[in-house]
Structure 1
Amino acid sequence: MIKSGTTDSRSFPQVNIHADLVVTGGGLSGVCCAITAARQGLKVALVQDRPVLGGNASSEVRLWILGATSHMGNNNRWAREGGLVDEILVENTYRNPEGNPVIFDTVLLDKVKREPNITLLLNTSVYAVEKKDAVTIQSLKAFCSQNQKEYTLTAPFFCDASGDGVVGFLSGAAFRMGAESREEFGELFAPSAEYGELLGHTLYFYSKDTGRPVTFTPPEFALTDITKIPRFKTFNAKDFGCKLWWIEYGGRMDTVHDTEDIKWELWKVVYGVWNHIKNSGGFPEAETLTLEWVGAIPGKRESRRFEGDYMLRQQDVIEQRTHADAVAFGGWSVDLHPADGVFSELPGCNQWHSKGIYQIPYRCLYSRNINNLFLGGRIISASHVAFASSRVMATAAYVSQAVGVAAAVCKEQGILPAEIISKGHITALQQRLLRTGQHIPGVQLRDPQDLVHTATIKASSELVLKEFPGQPLLKPLSLSVAQLLPLPQGEIAPFIFHADAAAATTLDVELRISSKPGNHTPDITLAKQTIDIHPGRNCMRLQFNASMAAPGYAFITFMKNPLVQLHHTDKRVTGVLSVFNSVNKAVSNYGKQTPPEDIGMEAFEFWCPQRRPEGQNIAVKYDTGIDLFKAENIRNGINRPTNAPNAWVADWNDPHPQLQLSWDKPQQISQIDLFFDADYDHPMESVLMSHPEKVMPFCVREYRIKDGAGNIIAAKKDNYQTYNRVVLEQPITTDQLTLELEHPSADVPAAVFAVRCYGTVEG
């Protein structure tokens, strides 16, 4: 029994925590920063003011995670973010293909709790900053509402991934709210005052079919005049969750300090919309529906943006400018919303895409005037226009992974964040990021510690793609479709394809490439042909009389003709895709982007894959053979398709695919890193959408690693992850390693992006 005496005052228990890095904000960005830093050897305190992790991705808000892949609705091929973002999305797809937001909560909690270097504080809000001097943070003060404890969090480095920038704000870091003028950065898409300068908040709701009639009595505060919402005629009873992204409000208010007022207005709208659906008589299909869940905290888009040594801007996104200090990439559209949100007469969003992914420089990831403060998530140094692209969760988390590794470099070198550049450590940071699976466009891993660079590599087979084996699948050419194929530099040999038709017709075929290396927007046409198609089966030879000026992807493009059935195949290969000139309204893709001339955006067509089980390859034949799937690719320093497949792929008919690494003299080996193909082209939306596959069809499920004497030193079954890090219990000494693989299926040959070997355990 506890019995208190009398006293004039009491105080809450005080807890002091010392760490190498304090991360404020437990959204996806804070989680990815904290785990990445912890795996680099830092002691990390992760402070989250909510009871669960995930922020906008959590069960409290329920927004799906998206980034450069953009629902597969743009031309960014193989663009899902790497490193920990990839690991989490692949894990969630395996555990939670139904997209249950509660299960996703557990995926994140599990990832964090597995890291012994992380101290996790949930329900804990930072409310004060103590400074060592005018430009240096010494500690943070935080309070947990559940255990009534006060925390002092002390560290040499801090990362603000809180979304609203609570640490940056309290520490005096330079920040902005609202939109820059066109003149400041020369951004032609900078919005007018009429359009508004901030994106608003959103609340979602979920409905459920009970199988019996359900009545609904709205609360007193519900919006009664639904015509105040200009798009009220588009309401339906089928949409729920983050498909209701357009229920947005607050862009003309203070999106930090007015959040509670904004939330109440959104509640009025949500309950008013549901009342309209249930009680207007216009939705008989809603008779058995009940309101299962309404968000209690809004999903935030924009508030403070902090200033670093560089501010990302529209031209970086659209022109895909290069930066010597690039550490991450983005690829979501420049996606601005009218400030009046759901009450605006304007479209709910205004999205303009670039032709490919763009680099994000390290200079955007730390404060320009608080010298030990890193910036993570959506508050990085970016203009309002560039922020419209970089703000989405997968991109925000991706840059935060870079912060996690940068903090480790700073600790080890005894330097401050800005000194990674001024003292010449940016290359080391980039290389260290690449080792974790981070993809940085245009930057290759050159790791002198990797023993594979001195090995002789032999493969049991190497795919030379001449044709797709097996029986063809006939599909009508109801959309224009292109087969995306990697080709070497030089003359392009003839292609063979087959088509069936019930009547005589013609077929237009074009050979296209991208104007920029590494892009997958087919904006240059090298050659065209019009082919006569006769009734029945046609075997056609395409001789384009064209050359590839450099290695890259070519688009063998068949223009729409519903009278024609093309031969397709169920076979799939790493680094090979078919793409379609189709529409995806969810990301403002109407087949072609045609912007006004005065907003600094580019016009081009969209050619996007279809989700499996659709999206089969076209059964083209290339007698010369595409010989770009060689074993040497496993050490080329690129772990995904870019302008080439960058993978070793075994031959279809190889019964026992294997790679053999041998050295002139024995090597001590402690760690082996393997990178498989978990399909970087798949967005893997974390919630709401269901995915028919738990495991990507290209991913090697089973492998064994043997030493020179034939002993199995490591083995795995039921693999589904991209990155497999094999740390041996005891180092071995051998002059040979053999990696034995099983093909993922009869339709997909085994493929490996990278194999790395280290004499010591690498972080």
Structure 2
Amino acid sequence: MIISQGGEKRVLQSAGLQVDLAVIGGGVSGTCAAITAAREGLKVVLVQDRPVLGGNASSEVRLWMLGATSHMGNNNRWAREGGVVDELMVENVYRNPEGNPLIFDMVLLDKVVAEPNITLLLNTAVYDVEKSSADEISSVKAFCSQNSTEYIITAPLFCDASGDGIVAFLAGAAFRMGAESKEEFGELFAPTKEYGELLGHSLYFYSKDTGKPVKFVAPSYALDDITKVPRFRNFNAKEYGCKLWWLEYGGRLDTVHDTEKIKWELWKVAYGAWNYIKNSGNFPEAENLTLEWIGTIPGKRESRRFEGEYIIKQQDVVQQHLHDDAVAFGGWSIDLHPADGVFSEKPGCNQWHGKGIYQIPYRSLYSRNIKNLFLAGRIISATHVAFGSTRVMATAAHAAQAVAMAAKICKDRKILPADVYHQGFITELQIALLRTGHHIPNVVLDDPEDLVGTAVVTASSELLLDELPEAGLLRPLEFSIAQMIPLKKGKCGTFSFHAESEEATELEVQFRVSEKSTNHTPEIILDKIILPVNAGRNELRLQFDVEMKDEAYAFVTFMKNPKIKLHFSNKRVTGILSVFNSINKAVSNFGKQTPPADIGVDEFEFWCPKRRPEGQNVAFKYEPGIDAFQASNITNGIDRPAAATNAWVADWNDENPTITIDWKETKTIKRIEILFDTDYDHPMESVLMGHPEHVMPFCVRDYVIKDGEGKVIFSKTDNYQTRNIIELDQPVNTKSLAISLVHPSADVPAALFSVRCY
């Protein structure tokens, strides 16, 4: 029993924490940074001012986590982010293919609490910063509303992933808020003040069918005249959650300090919209629907952007500039919204895509004037225009992993964030990232510690893809269709396809490639053939007069003709896709991007895959066969398709697909890492959108590893993750390893991207 007579002023209970890295902000970026750093041996505190992790991806906001894949609506093939980002998304699809936001909360928490090096503080908000000098933070103060405790967190390194940049702001870090002029960075897409200088917040609602009529009485603060929303006719009884991304407001206000005011305005609109759906009489299908959930905090898009040594600009995104300190990538469109949001007469967004993914430099990930402060999430160093792309969650989290890995180098070498660049440790940083399955476009892993790099690698078989057989599946050419085929440098072989038509017609087939070999926008036509097509079944033999200048993907492109049906195959192979010149309005894809001439954005066509269970390949034969799946690919330093498949794929008929790694001398192996194919082309939206399977069809589920004497040293069943890390109980001394895989299915041959041994 406690009895206090009172009288004297009291102080809060206080707790001190000393860590290697303090990560402030538990959105997806902060979460990925914390996990990455903890796995590298750093002692980390993760401070989150909300009761759950995930930020805008959490159940509190319910926006899908996305990045460069952009709902498969752009030309960025195999562009899902790697490392911990990939691990989280694959895990979520495995546990949560329905897209339940509560389950995604669970996945994030589960991954964080599994790391003994992370101290997690939920419901804890930083409110003060102490500095040891004008340009260095010594500690931060935070308060937990649930246990009434003040935390004083001391660290040599801080990472601000808080969204509004609370630590960076309090510490005096240089920042920007609002849009730059066209003249400052030469950005032709820089918006006028009339369009707006800030993106607003959004707030969503969910509905549920109760099976019986439900009445709705609107609150007094609901918007009483829904026609004040120019796009009010877009509201309907079927769309809910983040499909209502355009329910946005606040771009004319202070998106930090006016957030509560913005929230109330969004509540007015959301409740007014639901009142309109339920009570206008225009939606009889809504009679049994109830309002199951409505957001209580808005999802923020933009506030402060902090200055690093390099500010990413429009040209970096569109022209895909290369940086010697590249550590991550982006690929979402430059996606700017009118500042008036839902009350604007303008379209809800203005998206302009690039032809491929772009590099994110390390110099944009730390403050230029606070020397021990990393930047992560949407606050990284970018102009307002470039921020339109870098701000999305998976892109931001991918860059945050680079911050965490840099923190490891800082600790080990007793240096500060900028020193990683200026003292020449970028290659070390890139190697450390790529080892984890992280991807950096145009950067190849050359790992001096990987024992496989000195071995001879052979396989029981290597797929020579000479045919994708027909499956009785016919599709009309309602859209132009292209089959992506990885080809090596040299003269093109002969293709054979089968088509059917009810009447005589003609078919134009083009041979296309991308201007850049690592892109997948087929904008260059090298040859075209016009073939007569007779009524009935036709064999089409194509010998294009082309020679590949470099190893790259070719696009055998069948131009639109609804009279013709092509045969498709049920066989799927790593790094092989069919793409369609179709439309995806959700990401402003109308088949072709035709920008105004004066905004600095390219004109090009969109060629995108279909989602499974569709997405079958065009059935074809190719002479002399596609030789793109060699065992040597597992040591080429690229762990996903890019200009080539970069994978070893076994022959369909190999009953025991095995890759063998031989050394001249005995090696001591403590750790084995294997990267499998979990379909980097699938965006794996974290919430709302369901997925047709919980394990990707290309992923090897079962495998066995044996040493040179045939002894089993490890076996795995029911694998579903990309990166498998095998820490051996006892080091193995051997001159050889054999890894035997089981084909994922009769229609998908076994494949893997890399094997590394340490």
Change (3 A) 1:283 1:502: same
Give the structure 1 partner of residue 204 of structure 2: 204
Q: Deviations over 1:254-301 (max 9, x none)?
A: 000000000000000000011111111111111111101000000000
> Aligned ranges for residues 82-231 of structure 1 at < 5 Å?
82-231=82-231
Q: Deviations over 1:111-163 (max 9, x none)?
A: 00000000000000000000000000000000000000000000000000000
Tell me, yes or no, if structure 1 residue 16 matches structure 2 residue 16: yes
Please report how far the alpha carbon of residue 3 of structure 1 lies from its aligned counterpart in structure 2 after TM superposition. Answer: 2.1
Contact 1:567–1:618 under 8 Å retained in 2:
yes
Give distance in 1, aligned partners of 2:105 and 2:415. Answer: 35
Please report how far the alpha carbon of residue 470 of structure 1 lies from its aligned counterpart in structure 2 after TM superposition. Answer: 5.9
Tell me, yes or no, if structure 1 residue 260 matches structure 2 residue 260: yes
Contact 1:237–1:283 under 8 Å retained in 2:
yes
SS at match of 1:739: strand
Please report how far the alpha carbon of residue 637 of structure 1 lies from its aligned counterpart in structure 2 after TM superposition. Answer: 0.3
Give the structure 2 partner of residue 523 of structure 1: 523
**How many pairs were matched up?**
758
Q: Deviations over 1:339-369 (max 9, x none)?
A: 0000000000000000000000000000000
Give the structure 2 partner of residue 761 of structure 1: none
Give the structure 1 partner of residue 302 of structure 2: 302
Tell me, yes or no, if structure 1 residue 343 matches structure 2 residue 332: no
SS at match of 2:453: helix
Q: Deviations over 1:61-100 (max 9, x none)?
A: 0000010000000000000000000000000000000000
Please report how far the alpha carbon of residue 428 of structure 1 lies from its aligned counterpart in structure 2 after TM superposition. Answer: 0.6
Give the structure 2 partner of residue 694 of structure 1: 694
Contact 2:223–2:269 under 8 Å retained in 1:
yes
Give the structure 2 partner of residue 557 of structure 1: 557
Give distance in 2, aligned partners of 1:653 and 1:43. Answer: 49
SS at match of 2:623: coil
Contact 1:472–1:619 under 8 Å retained in 2:
no
Contact 2:470–2:619 under 8 Å retained in 1:
no
Give distance in 2, aligned partners of 1:158 and 1:41. Answer: 16
Q: Deviations over 1:168-223 (max 9, x none)?
A: 00000000100000000000000001001000000000001111111111000110
Show structure 1 runs of 4+ deviating over 6 A: none
| Aligned residue type for 2:494 | P
Give the structure 1 partner of residue 510 of structure 2: 510
Give the structure 2 partner of residue 713 of structure 1: 713
Please report how far the alpha carbon of residue 12 of structure 1 lies from its aligned counterpart in structure 2 after TM superposition. Answer: 1.2
Give distance in 2, aligned partners of 1:515 and 1:452. Answer: 34
Give distance in 1, aligned partners of 2:708 and 2:527. Answer: 52
Give the structure 1 partner of residue 460 of structure 2: 460
> Aligned ranges for residues 730-749 of structure 1 at < 5 Å?
730-749=730-749
Give the structure 2 partner of residue 726 of structure 1: 726
Q: Deviations over 1:726-750 (max 9, x none)?
A: 0001111111111010000000000
| Aligned residue type for 2:389 | S
Please report how far the alpha carbon of residue 665 of structure 1 lies from its aligned counterpart in structure 2 after TM superposition. Answer: 1.6
Contact 1:405–1:432 under 8 Å retained in 2:
yes
Give distance in 2, aligned partners of 1:234 and 1:135. Answer: 50
| Aligned residue type for 2:239 | D
Give distance in 2, aligned partners of 1:494 and 1:142. Answer: 67
Give the structure 2 partner of residue 42 of structure 1: 42
Give distance in 1, aligned partners of 2:303 and 2:116. Answer: 33
| Aligned residue type for 1:686 | S
Tell me, yes or no, if structure 1 residue 26 matches structure 2 residue 1: no
| Aligned residue type for 2:204 | Y
Please report how far the alpha carbon of residue 5 of structure 1 lies from its aligned counterpart in structure 2 after TM superposition. Answer: 3.7
How high is the TM-score relative to the length of structure 1? 0.99
Give distance in 1, aligned partners of 2:375 and 2:472. Answer: 52
> Aligned ranges for residues 222-241 of structure 1 at < 5 Å?
222-241=222-241
Give distance in 2, aligned partners of 1:646 and 1:226. Answer: 53
| Aligned residue type for 1:464 | L
Give distance in 1, aligned partners of 2:280 and 2:473. Answer: 48
Q: Deviations over 1:500-547 (max 9, x none)?
A: 111111111000000012000000000011110001111111011111
Please report how far the alpha carbon of residue 6 of structure 1 lies from its aligned counterpart in structure 2 after TM superposition. Answer: 3.3
Give the structure 1 partner of residue 405 of structure 2: 405
Change (3 A) 1:564 1:291: same
How high is the TM-score relative to the length of structure 2? 0.99
Give the structure 2 partner of residue 275 of structure 1: 275
Give the structure 1 partner of residue 589 of structure 2: 589
Give distance in 2, aligned partners of 1:582 and 1:301. Answer: 29
Contact 1:495–1:622 under 8 Å retained in 2:
yes
Please report how far the alpha carbon of residue 472 of structure 1 lies from its aligned counterpart in structure 2 after TM superposition. Answer: 4.3
Instruction: Give the unaligned 5+ runs of structure 1.
Output: 759-763
Give distance in 2, aligned partners of 1:38 and 1:660. Answer: 33
SS at match of 1:729: strand
Give distance in 1, aligned partners of 2:117 and 2:142. Answer: 20
Give distance in 2, aligned partners of 1:481 and 1:386. Answer: 32
Give the structure 1 partner of residue 482 of structure 2: 482
Give the structure 1 partner of residue 319 of structure 2: 319
Larger mean Cα displacement after TM superposition, 69-78 or 485-494? 485-494
Instruction: Give the unaligned 5+ runs of structure 2.
Output: none
Tell me, yes or no, if structure 1 residue 421 matches structure 2 residue 428: no
SS at match of 1:625: strand
> Aligned ranges for residues 368-407 of structure 1 at < 5 Å?
368-407=368-407
Please report how far the alpha carbon of residue 227 of structure 1 lies from its aligned counterpart in structure 2 after TM superposition. Answer: 1.1
Give distance in 1, aligned partners of 2:399 and 2:611. Answer: 27
Give the structure 1 partner of residue 62 of structure 2: 62
Give distance in 1, aligned partners of 2:458 and 2:346. Answer: 60
Give distance in 1, aligned partners of 2:419 and 2:97. Answer: 43
SS at match of 1:499: strand
Give distance in 2, aligned partners of 1:126 and 1:676. Answer: 40
Contact 2:59–2:102 under 8 Å retained in 1:
yes
Give the structure 1 partner of residue 540 of structure 2: 540
Larger mean Cα displacement after TM superposition, 468-477 or 216-225? 468-477
| Aligned residue type for 2:253 | M
SS at match of 1:367: coil
Contact 1:62–1:687 under 8 Å retained in 2:
yes
Please report how far the alpha carbon of residue 11 of structure 1 lies from its aligned counterpart in structure 2 after TM superposition. Answer: 1.1
Query: How large is the Cα RMSD of the aligned pairs?
Result: 0.7
Contact 2:470–2:567 under 8 Å retained in 1:
no
Give distance in 2, aligned partners of 1:286 and 1:678. Answer: 39
Q: Deviations over 1:404-446 (max 9, x none)?
A: 1000001101111001111110111011110111100000110
| Aligned residue type for 1:493 | G
Change (3 A) 1:370 1:457: same
Please report how far the alpha carbon of residue 671 of structure 1 lies from its aligned counterpart in structure 2 after TM superposition. Answer: 0.2
Give the structure 1 partner of residue 284 of structure 2: 284
Give distance in 1, aligned partners of 2:470 and 2:331. Answer: 36
Give distance in 2, aligned partners of 1:336 and 1:297. Answer: 22
SS at match of 1:612: coil
Give the structure 1 partner of residue 570 of structure 2: 570
Tell me, yes or no, if structure 1 residue 638 matches structure 2 residue 623: no
SS at match of 2:468: coil
Give distance in 1, aligned partners of 2:23 and 2:114. Answer: 17
Give distance in 1, aligned partners of 2:6 and 2:233. Answer: 64
| Aligned residue type for 2:268 | K
| Aligned residue type for 1:93 | V
Please report how far the alpha carbon of residue 335 of structure 1 lies from its aligned counterpart in structure 2 after TM superposition. Answer: 0.2
Give the structure 1 partner of residue 678 of structure 2: 678
Please report how far the alpha carbon of residue 4 of structure 1 lies from its aligned counterpart in structure 2 after TM superposition. Answer: 2.1
Give distance in 1, aligned partners of 2:39 and 2:527. Answer: 50
Give distance in 2, aligned partners of 1:361 and 1:540. Answer: 47
